[in-house]
Amino acid sequence: MDCRTKENPERTFDLVLKVKCHASENEDPVVLWKFPEDFGDQEVLQSVPKFCFPFDIERVSQNQVGQHFTFVLTDIESKQRFGFCRLTSGGKICLCILSYLPWFEVYYKLLNTLADYLAKELENDLNETLKSLYSHPVPKANTPVSLSVNQEIFIASEQVLKDQPFLVPHSYFIAPDVTGLPTIPESRNLTEYFVAVDVNNMLQLYASMLHERRIIITSSKLSTLTACLHGSAALLYPMFWQHIYIPVLPPHLLDYCCAPMPYLIGIHSSLIERVKNKSLEDVVMLNVDTNTLESPFNDLNNLPSDVVSALKNKLKKQSTATGDGVARAFLRAQAALFGSYRDALRYKPGEPITFCEESFVKHRSSLMKQFLETAVNLQLFKQFIDGRLAKLNAGRGFSDVFEEEITSGGFCG
């Protein structure tokens, strides 16, 4: 699990808002309705509405920007909280669910259900559904959850739901397992990213993320934009982007693009000219609509060519396009690049296990050695090593798909 994802959150969601935007950007959006009514975190109530309309509201309509998107807020413990959004009424109204759970497909489905209730003026049903889910313990992975409007949530197998049609509610979902590799078409983020961006640009973006650059992604569709941010970042597994991460930047925060530190930021195309007018230095920019990537760096050439060509060949195979093929191709590349970390672990009786950078960098090929000399300074790699050492020294150990890939690919020893 990402170290920035909150473990064991208390609730499936914290807040649902219905927000209206004004005709002018100069006026703050207004909260029309919230659940629960007694939600009291004023900072959240003030910041969330501004993220609900992350485009030029005077120039574009909902037909142009699409319906679903997800923004991210970072709390004081550096944990990510997701804002799942659905635009309605021509982009003037936004329904937003705030949750620590990265359950994209579940919350997009729930947003459709809520929008349906509102369109039919079934506000009692809407409130009952939210009450049920809000008070219910967070479901375990792969558990079916059925939303009902009679103050109960049934957790049952799919077969039970089929056998007892009177239990089948307006909507039900399977609690996702976020520890597994994302699959196509089940993962909406990865699917949209893989469809929207060609293989060469995926590789360029991957290389830029591995060099921790300042990266801007832009698109005219909000769903595609935020999917590309979330999807590309997920392919760094078992590492995670450690710097500024804003899947979609609202107009009032555009100055973030002038930050001197690394970032991964999504910007709607209606705002991109404003950003380009700022003094941007050494920025990698991917335009998803035109499938073009501009970069002042040769990051892809700095990666070992054998790893890049193997990854490219795998991504171009038809069989890779479904299931966990894409995620597994990137996992193999990560194992090829970083798997030898195991050989650099140092064990001394009675002392904590340590990591020897010098040993890690000593490598058979000069290109790999060159890359690893850079890699040891990356925040994403340092965080990964710290996490592995913490587990080993706590006596917990670990076994995950990354370690399995290192072993099966012979990337250590």
Whether 180 is covered by a domain: the verdict is no
Query: What is the total count of domains within the chain?
Result: 3
User: Residue 219's pLDDT is what?
Assistant: 97
pLDDT for the residue 310: 97
Whole-angstrom Cα distance, residue 151 to residue 400? 39
Are residues 212 and 341 located together in one domain of the fold?
A: no
pLDDT at 51: 96
**What DSSP character marks residue 184?**
B
Confidence (pTM): 0.91
Is residue 315 within 8 Å of 326, Cβ to Cβ? Answer: yes
Q: What is the CATH number of the domain that holds 242?
A: 3.40.50.11500
Q: Please give the pLDDT value at position 62.
A: 64
Q: 130 and 268 share a domain?
A: no
Contact (Cβ atoms closer than 8 angstroms) between residue 383 and residue 239: yes
Domain assignment of residue 252, yes or no: yes
Tell me whether residue 368 is in a domain: yes
| 3-state class (DSSP) for residue 407 | helix
Give per-10-residue mean pLDDT for the chain (413 aa): 74 95 85 93 93 90 80 90 92 94 92 87 84 86 68 43 49 76 94 97 98 97 97 96 96 94 97 91 96 96 96 92 94 96 93 94 87 95 95 86 92 73
The answer to the question of residue 84 being in a domain is yes
Distance CA 34, CA 181 (A): 34
Residue 168 has a pLDDT of: 46
Decide: helix, strand or coil at residue 243: coil
Given a contact cutoff of 8 angstroms between Cβ atoms, the answer to whether 79 and 100 are in contact is yes
Cβ atoms of 219 and 245 within 8 Å: the answer is no
Claim to verify: residue 218 and residue 267 sit in the same structural domain: yes
- Token readout for 361 is 């960098």
Domain that holds residue 89: 15-174
Cβ 295 vs Cβ 208: under 8 Å: yes
* Residue 48 neighbours by CB under 8 Å, 6+ apart: 15, 17, 19, 73, 83, 96, 98
Do residues 25 and 146 share a domain? yes
Q: How many residues are given for the chain?
A: 413
For residue 7, being part of any structural domain is answered with no
Is there a contact between 358 and 341 (Cβ–Cβ < 8 Å)? no
